[in-house]
Amino acid sequence: MKRGVGAAHAAGAAAVLAAVSLSYLPAARFLHYLSFSGEVDSNRLAWFAPAAVLGAFLFERVVRGSFYGWLRVKLPAGMAAPVVAALGAVPVAVLRLWLVPRFAAPPLLAIAHAYLVAFALGLGLTWLALGTGVTWPGGAALAAIWLVKGIVPVAFHGRPVPVLELAAASLGAVAVAFVLNKPLAPHRDALWGA
């Protein structure tokens, strides 16, 4: 890894991103907006777990590895990260709406919410890849998030849950920027022309 970021630091940053991004689940449970709706479906677990783990690592390698590296050369300093987060959020939002259509809201609102959550998470994943210099921590964080969201059987009761989810994803990105403050400093300096 570049800039002196060790594997333990990278794994810790990935764990922080996953934990903070998923913190809306215990918060919603505490506020009585979420309940567990049964046992884990073993048939779903058998196909979803390997697909989520493999898909997350592959997605991170392609989007935040190859695509980000290509865009970084083409765009001015500081522009590649938000562009990668914005474009990478599209397939994640589509997949989410297809696999987990839990949203009882107008379709446009459901689409906007899925995209904004994926974009906020994508910023955190992009900063994680940028700060560590590798994509495996982002793959691990994304796999953990997808596994929890796809396997844990929950039922939402109330409209605050999507707001809590968006806030948690945004705070996850901020937490990664905080944890990787020192490794991200050269990139901030390049952005601000220092």
The full DSSP string for 136-149 is HHHHHHHHHHHHHH
Closest CA to 143 of 39, 61, 26: 61
- The pLDDT of residue 136: 96
- The pLDDT of residue 16: 97
Query: Within a domain: residue 100?
Result: yes
Query: Within a domain: residue 57?
Result: yes
Query: Within a domain: residue 26?
Result: yes
- The pLDDT of residue 3: 52
Instruction: Report the chain's mean pLDDT, rounded to a whole number.
Output: 88
- The pLDDT of residue 173: 95
Report the pLDDT averaged over residues 96-106.
Answer: 76
How many structural domains is the chain composed of? 1
Tell whether the model's pLDDT for residue 178 goes beyond 70. yes
Strands 34-36 and 154-156: antiparallel
Measured CA to CA, the distance from residue 55 to residue 62 in angstroms comes to: 10
Query: Within a domain: residue 130?
Result: yes
Query: Within a domain: residue 3?
Result: no
pLDDT in tens, 42-90: 888 889 899 999 999 999 999 999 998 899 889 887 788 889 999 999 9
- The pLDDT of residue 102: 64
The torsion of the CA quartet 176, 88, 115, 93, rounded to 10 degrees, works out to: -110
Print burial letters for 121-160: b (CB count within 10 Å at least 16), e (below 16): bbbbbbbbbbbbebbbbbbbbbbbbbbebbeeebebeeeb
pLDDT in tens, 3-48: 557 889 999 999 999 999 999 999 998 998 888 877 777 888 889 8
- The pLDDT of residue 101: 66
Length reported for the chain: 194
Measured CA to CA, the distance from residue 169 to residue 174 in angstroms comes to: 9
pLDDT in tens, 117-152: 999 999 999 999 989 989 999 999 999 999 998 888
- The pLDDT of residue 150: 85
Query: Within a domain: residue 22?
Result: yes
Query: Within a domain: residue 1?
Result: no
Query: Within a domain: residue 2?
Result: no
- The pLDDT of residue 54: 97
Report the pLDDT averaged over residues 78-106.
Answer: 86
- The pLDDT of residue 179: 94
What SS3 class is residue 35? strand
Highest mean pLDDT among 37-46, 49-58, 158-167, 185-194: 49-58
Closest CA to 152 of 36, 24, 20, 28: 36
Tell whether the model's pLDDT for residue 1 goes beyond 50. no
Range of the domain at 90: 9-192
